[in-house]
Structure 1
């Protein structure tokens, strides 16, 4: 059954309100659509709640602190690290309340080892990514922290079946050698694809040993890392599917045909002008638009359905796809919830295409 979920980011600062909204939307999806609730991430709460600080909070025996230029490894735990850990515990506590009595899939996203190494600095030096030994140490530390995090989630929600998403949105830069040094006058050396696959596999295996039912690697807006993710043994690859060229879609199709799942990030639904264009007419015919205009969820679904059809992939394989919402820079809690509702409606159209095929 075609599923719908999110990768964590949410607007606002009230974590319980956000988690309750997500649980409500994704446990009441339409017939034919499987909702996968996720652990929310509210970066608007400040340092320690944003992806790098949140990732640093998971590192086992590798304390970090906030320096003038960003998060860096530290000699001993300090208040910055403690704050990040406290915010993460607050998230898990809110999940325990909002998901009380829930049993089923639960998605938890964390910053992956290479994206974390690309943003986190050594205690005395450049980015962690500049030192292969430090990257390996960080990966091993993160693997332990991820296992502990999954254990905490299973205590908070005893009926949970966790899926781990590793956010590797910087991975293309890492593989291509395009990540700038701290000084900004050069770039760091590219990390070999084999090393990337090996270390992603290490975290994935630790997650599965801790009870993760599947491991997904999110590569942001790039298809470049797809083969490395497949070689790492990931169960699925997540990426924003809007705007890829033919070569990118060929790479995605190659992964799908090898049995790797696709988590397709859709663009935000634009507001359709009433009565203009085929998408608006199709929206009215399916109850997804109106004469007053509204979100064009037909066009939103088309970001996946169009290329899928051009590649000749079987429509029935859409049942294996998980659809996720793309980020919205100017979101509010209300617009975040409306955006998730739009994605659920777009997923319903994708599920219908799967059944028609």
Structure 2
């Protein structure tokens, strides 16, 4: 973006991806508003269970498209039931907390929803197959998803009238949809890949509708091989990516996006304090006592090294770095202990300051 069309966040911004540990929306919103004053987000609390997970949370926004929980996954249902009622209720609690703590906020506020392709990959048809395997069902889902997300956007703007909304569409399953790597219900086959042109067209309709409604459309994909070009062409004005997964193969795509004015939310801090192969619950009681820093978070400059190396390869003016890039954890923080989650936000804050200060030395 040019000076006439600035990025929708202040210089040296930092934020979270979306999810947060715990079950109390009031405490979570209060913490996020306090820790992320320039670019807060509406926290998601999947620890609350059914309906608070990413798929259930967004399914509760769908219009006339009921789903329910089955042992294997969320599944298309005949009528709305208690699972959707729970999802709607939990979202209402979140919005009430947002109203309480952010009603007078006037900066950019980020909210998150699961994208249409991740929903299609995660929800089952009545026969147990993934919805993404049925083109007609995908079309219906995309339409009701767009309608529901726009209604949700309107509700958020009503509750925080002074905010500029950055709406992040989470598509962690997008790469698998494009590659045809999703397993079938039996587990012995793979769901056929969806045509890239069609995937892009569906996302473009959504992003265009969001922009017309006054929101800034963003896309988040933390999977390896994130389709950066496709998301840019679809109309995303910001891309949220795991910087630790980016390779030189992404350089040209990211350079093109930056030149087109697309902002970057780059994950530089691991999203969990649990060692590989170990869950947060078994990683030791000491991590729950207070902020815990992993070795990768102790040096702010080292934390953002992947971003600085990327920028050097792209050959873009260093002065643009801290304006175009927002530092984030690599993914949501729901799997982390509360102490680590706070430390992760401290680390992305410190990293953002490094990106702002070092180019000017």
Mapped contact 2:224–2:245 kept (Cα < 8 A): no
In the alignment, what sits opposite 1:61? 64
> Does the C-alpha gap of structure 1 residues 58 and 312 become closer, same or farther in structure 2, counting only changes over 3 Å?
same
* 1:224-239 equivalences in 2 (<5 Å): 224-239=226-241
> Does the C-alpha gap of structure 1 residues 311 and 270 become closer, same or farther in structure 2, counting only changes over 3 Å?
farther
> Does the C-alpha gap of structure 1 residues 245 and 83 become closer, same or farther in structure 2, counting only changes over 3 Å?
same
In the alignment, what sits opposite 1:102? 105
In the alignment, what sits opposite 2:211? 208
Q: What secondary structure does 1:205 align onto? A: helix
Q: Whole-Å Cα distance in 2 between the matches of residues 269 and 298 of structure 1?
A: 18
In the alignment, what sits opposite 2:327? 323
Deviation sequence 1:276-325 (CA, Å, 0-9, x none)? xxxxxxxxxxxxxxxx9972222111121122213322212212222222
Q: What secondary structure does 2:304 align onto? A: helix
In the alignment, what sits opposite 2:339? 334
CA RMSD of aligned residues (A): 2.2
Deviation sequence 1:314-356 (CA, Å, 0-9, x none)? 2122122222222346412232122111111111101113545
Give the drift of 1:153. 0.6
In the alignment, what sits opposite 1:138? 141
In the alignment, what sits opposite 2:8? none
> Does the C-alpha gap of structure 1 residues 312 and 149 become closer, same or farther in structure 2, counting only changes over 3 Å?
same
Q: 2:12 aligns with which of 2, 7, 29?
A: 2
* 1:296-307 equivalences in 2 (<5 Å): 296-307=299-310
Mapped contact 1:269–1:296 kept (Cα < 8 A): no
Give the drift of 1:269. 9.3
Number of positions where the alignment pairs a residue of Structure 1 with one of Structure 2: 329
> Does the C-alpha gap of structure 1 residues 151 and 294 become closer, same or farther in structure 2, counting only changes over 3 Å?
closer
2:315 equivalent to 1:312: yes
Q: Whole-Å Cα distance in 2 between the matches of residues 253 and 236 of structure 1?
A: 13
> Does the C-alpha gap of structure 1 residues 297 and 269 become closer, same or farther in structure 2, counting only changes over 3 Å?
farther
2:34 equivalent to 1:24: yes
Mapped contact 2:208–2:235 kept (Cα < 8 A): no
Q: What secondary structure does 2:336 align onto? A: coil
Q: Whole-Å Cα distance in 2 between the matches of residues 293 and 210 of structure 1?
A: 40
In the alignment, what sits opposite 1:252? 254
Q: Whole-Å Cα distance in 2 between the matches of residues 77 and 311 of structure 1?
A: 50
Q: What secondary structure does 1:335 align onto? A: helix
State TM-score, norm by structure 2. Answer: 0.86
Give the drift of 1:224. 3.8
Deviation sequence 1:186-237 (CA, Å, 0-9, x none)? 111111111111101111122223331x101111133441111111111121
Q: Whole-Å Cα distance in 1 between the matches of residues 334 and 89 of structure 2?
A: 25
Q: What secondary structure does 1:3 align onto? A: coil
In the alignment, what sits opposite 2:7? none
Q: What secondary structure does 1:162 align onto? A: strand
Q: Whole-Å Cα distance in 2 between the matches of residues 102 and 220 of structure 1?
A: 29
Q: Structure 1 stretches of 5 or more lacking a match?
A: 28-34, 272-291
